[in-house]
Chains A and B, each alone.
With several copies, the nearest count.
Chain A
Amino acid sequence: MTEPTLTVRFFARLREELGTEQLTLPAQANQTAGDLLGVLASRGGPWAQLQGGQPVMIAINQAMAKPATPVQAGDEVAFFPPVTGG
């Protein structure tokens, strides 16, 4: 049986500083977007900024979300800096 996973994407400054555009992570039960940030931050180095660093915006399946929003298998979770278009 295939392990359930979710996709994590990074944009802009975060993408560059983490040297990562996309990751596949195992999906855990009862996990929130904030929990995912904690798991990633524990990698250390540039990843540490994901907790307690500059503000990180969250989108789940391409809609804005909050740290408390649950994530589940199959979700596309994105982390990025505050937007600066227009």
Chain B
Amino acid sequence: MISIQTEDFDSGAEYEALRASGAGTGAIATFTGLVRDSGDMQGVSGLFLEHYPGMTEQVIAGLVEEASRRWDVRKARVIHRVGKLLLQEQIVFVGVCSAHRGDAFAACEFIMDALKASAPFWKKELSDTGEHWVEQKASDVARGKVWGK
């Protein structure tokens, strides 16, 4: 299930929902991204996140499908927030259930890396002295490519 939303989310409740995926689940890997205080600018107070409604959901659904072809994925959950987010707020959640530990880790990291490299979200950093659009990092493009096809 994929949600793009302005509201915050409850990672603990999301984990419990993943855990309720049946007795064949032996492994749950989760990732949460938070707004942190050392972006491209000094004194960042928060972010503004814009996305391309419709395309975002399609791109992420495609990534979850690809992960499910490559690894044992019993259930996957992706939440990405948009709009204004303050320092330390949650931005993104990716959770994957699998029978096996290696598959849960790989699918979770793949979805997160590929989302970062290809889902149509854009971040603007907000600070006391102004705001600016974050530039894409070469390292994120590289991490997206590492997974190959």
Contact = CB atoms under 8 A, between A and B. Distances in A.
A and B touch in the complex (CB under 8 A): yes
Contacts of B55: 59, 62-63, 78
A15 B55 CA distance: 17
Interface string A41-84: 00000000000000000010011100000000000001011111
A83 B58 contact: no
B116 A12 contact: no
B122 A83 contact: yes
A41 B102 CA distance: 39
Given A59-B55, A62-B52, A86 B120 contact: no
Contact of A86 (B52, B92, B124, B133): B92
B106 to A, nearest CB: 17
By secondary structure, the B interface counts as mixed
Contact of B122 (A9, A12, A62, A63): A12
Interface of A is mostly: mixed
Contacts, number: 74
A85 B112 CA distance: 10
A67 B141 CA distance: 20
Interface in B19-57: 33, 49-52, 54-55
* Category for how many chain B residues contact A: 20 to 34
Contacts of B101: 86
A59 B59 CA distance: 11
A84 B134 contact: yes
20 contacts: A11-B120, A12-B50, A15-B50, A59-B52, A59-B55, A62-B58, A78-B120, A82-B136, A83-B116, A83-B120, A84-B134, A84-B135, A84-B137, A85-B80, A85-B115, A85-B120, A85-B122, A86-B101, A86-B119, A86-B121
Interface of B: 33, 49-52, 54-55, 58, 80, 91-92, 101, 112, 115-124, 133-137, 140-141
Interface of A: 9, 11-13, 15-16, 59, 62-64, 78, 80-86
